[in-house]
Amino acid sequence: MKEKNSKLDREDLAKLELEKNRAEEDKEAAITALEARSIDLVKEKNERAKLEAKIDQLASQMLIGGHQIEDTP
């Protein structure tokens, strides 16, 4: 009877070890995906800031006689 319990314990231990390994792999995959998304967000934020600066620059160039082009006929 003890041998049978020992075999079951080894099988349970092997299953638990597999589950632990899968969980660690899933965790690493999630961390990698999160880091990639974080990098993408930083890039998007920088690009947005550049575009806003460009828009501000173009808007300042559109002034004619103290009026913006949108306000002139």
Q: pLDDT tens digits for 39-51?
A: 999 999 999 999 9
Q: Which is more confidently placed, 30 or 64? A: 30
What does the pLDDT read at residue 9? 87
Burial of 10 (0-12, 13-18, 19+ CB in 10 A): exposed
Contact 37, 45 (CB under 8 A): no
Distance (Å, whole) CA 51 – CA 53:
5
Supply the range of the domain harboring residue 8. 2-71
pLDDT band with cut points at 50, 70 and 90 for residue 26: very high
**pLDDT greater at residue 55 or residue 71:** 55
Beta strands in 13-71 (DSSP E): 63-64, 67-68
The C-alpha atoms of residue 64 and residue 72 are separated, in whole angstroms, by 9
Number of domains in the chain: 1
